[in-house]
Amino acid sequence: MNFLIIWADPHIRTVRQLDALVSETYTLAVIVFILFLGVAMLVANSIAYEGGKNPTDPAKRRTWFILLGVGAPVLFFLFNYLYVKHSIENPALQTKFTTTNVIATVLVLVLYFLTGFLLSKVLKNSKFGTVFPTKR
């Protein structure tokens, strides 16, 4: 199986080609999720701690985390919808791929926020731990 068959053969004509594309789409969804979560962690670590009574640094980290969490599935969906879907010649296969695209997009969204929440709780003494603060 060629990874990212869409670049090797820009025209999907058969069910077998579509099945390979579906597998690659789910793989790409996991890669996008990991990439954006890694960027969110880097951004969180790059925002300096603020002293004082009401520091705003946790809100900045949370805002960036949410923006990246919304941006990841939106960019993933648009890439598949605007670029990949149009390489599929059969309308029935396009419909099947649209279902795959929606499921993979939701997968990116859920994995990003669920893993981010869990990492925030595990790394509660780090800067990333302030993304979802624990009330004491």
Q: Is 20 a member of any domain?
A: yes
Q: Is 3 a member of any domain?
A: no
**Per-residue pLDDT at 86:** 86
Whether the pLDDT of residue 20 is over 70: the answer is yes
Distance, in Å, from the CA atom of 121 to the CA atom of 126, rounded to the nearest integer, reads 10
Q: Is 8 a member of any domain?
A: no
Residue indicated by tokens 């060629």? 2
Among 1-10, 74-83, 101-110, 114-123, the minimum mean pLDDT is found in: 1-10
Q: Is 92 a member of any domain?
A: yes
**Per-residue pLDDT at 33:** 97
Give the number of domains in the chain.
Answer: 1
Contact indicator for 127, 61 with CB cutoff of 8 Å: yes
Q: In terms of residue numbers, what domain contains 72?
A: 14-47+54-130
**Mean pLDDT of the residues in the chain:** 89
Side-chain half-sphere CA neighbours of 21 within 13 A: 29
Contact indicator for 20, 2 with CB cutoff of 8 Å: yes
Query: CA–CA distance from 126 to each of 38, 95, 121 (Å)?
Result: 15, 44, 10
Q: Is 5 a member of any domain?
A: no
Q: Is 80 a member of any domain?
A: yes
Q: Is 122 a member of any domain?
A: yes
Distance, in Å, from the CA atom of 3 to the CA atom of 100, rounded to the nearest integer, reads 17
Average pLDDT, integer, range 1-6: 48
Q: Is 33 a member of any domain?
A: yes
Q: What is the pLDDT of residues 38-94, one digit of tens each?
A: 999 999 999 888 877 878 888 999 999 999 999 999 999 999 999 898 888 888 999
Give me the DSSP letters along 22-75: HHHHHHHHHHHHHHHHHHHHHHHHHSPP--SSS--HHHHHHHHHHHHHHHHHHH
